[in-house]
Amino acid sequence: MNFFSDNHDFTLKPNSHTEAVLSLSWNRVYRNLIASASADKTVKLWDLANETCVNTYTYHTDKVQAVSWNPAESSILATGSFDKRICILDVRNPQTMLSTELNGDIETLAWLPSPHHNHLLASDESGYLYCYDILKGLNQPLWSIQAHNKPCQAIAVNPVIPGLIVTGSPEHENPIKFWDIADGYPVCLYAENNSSIGMVFSLNFSVDDPYYLVVGNKSDEPVLINSIYFDPIKNKYGNQNWVHSETIKPSETPLQVADI
């Protein structure tokens, strides 16, 4: 259903983006705070409690494709842009920003959960997947690999099974690949060669059942995959009772505008 007709008149909030919003990230600790990235080359922080734009960052020089809060360090924000740069900043002290430049446009970013929450995954338009330890800086990745022959447009980190990640691409041959990175370097466990999946734009694991993966693709409906039916996944992970051990709890008090 189309709720907005072509001539619908609505008013944007002050300091809104002037072009398409390409990525959103909700702060898991300070639930009043959301970060947005846009084709207008900016990153914005929004206070949902007051419905206001808290800050606008203009350090990127091209479309900002990805934005992601660190799952454990609630003030650390990672952004990725078509200017080929990954930037990491503490919103309480943005002058201390880290950055690095890759060979292609940044497609997506994903943090690993605790205890490896200092590890950031990044992918680019050439299909490469990178892993950085931000405590060691961004000069050199811990590892990098060509995950796909076309842009690696999606990364899903399993929230329950340590080291299990999935990447997605618009490539025809293997649009989805399952990886084990627990030993410090990615090993491809399974490549889904179902061409009917089509172009993959987003991926996300279920937090209730770690084997279920939802795929956003170029179709009218999302695709739901139960990965336990793939022998390599079943053989490696299927004989364990996985329990969600995430201990992060939302703060009882909103992050104040004065703190940013």
Low-confidence winner among 93-97, 194-198, 254-258 (lowest mean pLDDT): 254-258
Give the whole-number percent of the chain exceeding pLDDT 70. Answer: 88
Residue 55 sits in which domain range? 17-143
Q: Note the pTM of the prediction, 2 decimals.
A: 0.88
What's the rounded Cα separation, in Å, for the pair 55 and 64? 16
> Does residue 108 form part of some domain?
yes
> Does residue 247 form part of some domain?
no
> Does residue 47 form part of some domain?
yes
When divided into structural domains, the chain yields a total of 2
pLDDT in tens, 43-98: 999 999 999 999 999 999 999 999 999 999 999 999 999 999 999 999 998 888 99
Residues 116 and 62 in one domain: yes
The predicted pLDDT at position 198 comes to 79
- For residue 148, pLDDT over 70 is answered with yes
pLDDT band (50, 70, 90) for residue 252: low
Average pLDDT over every residue of 136-142? 94
